[in-house]
A = this chain, B = another copy of it.
Amino acid sequence: MPRSKESCTKHALCPKLEAALQIISKKWSGLIIHALMEGPQRYKDIAEFIPGISDRMLSERFKELEEAGIVIRHVYPEVPVRIEYELTEKGKQMNGILDEVAKWAERFC
């Protein structure tokens, strides 16, 4: 089966699905996206919301999510500088996935 990024109808290994799962299946990414569904937040808000994550890991995940176009970083030139992270439209549209995960978790976890 050609592995181009055509739209995938049948349940074959669709490159698009694979790409999406690889974004979501990075440890902590799902929880970060879930936390940002509440709106723009500062680094330390997210760090407090996810107690188990290290600073290095959180920075790394933010960088990846920015590169994937899921998160946008706002820098406000105040004193001290204020930095906030916000979901892009692409990120916000993941709420359907998180809602399904929450439904499944409610039943099975």
* A contact patch SS: helix
Partner of A104, one of B26, B50, B93, B105: B93
Partner of A31, one of B21, B98, B100: B21
| This chain's copy number in the assembly | 2
Count of chain A residues near B, Cβ 8 A = 47
**Bound complex: CA A49 to CA B18 (Å):** 11
**Bound complex: CA A100 to CA B95 (Å):** 9
Q: Which A residues from 27 to 51 make CB contacts under 8 A with B? A: 27-31, 34-35, 37-38, 49-51
- A residues sitting closer than 8 Å to B (CB atoms) are 5, 7-8, 11, 13-22, 24-31, 34-35, 37-38, 49-51, 69, 90, 93-94, 96-109
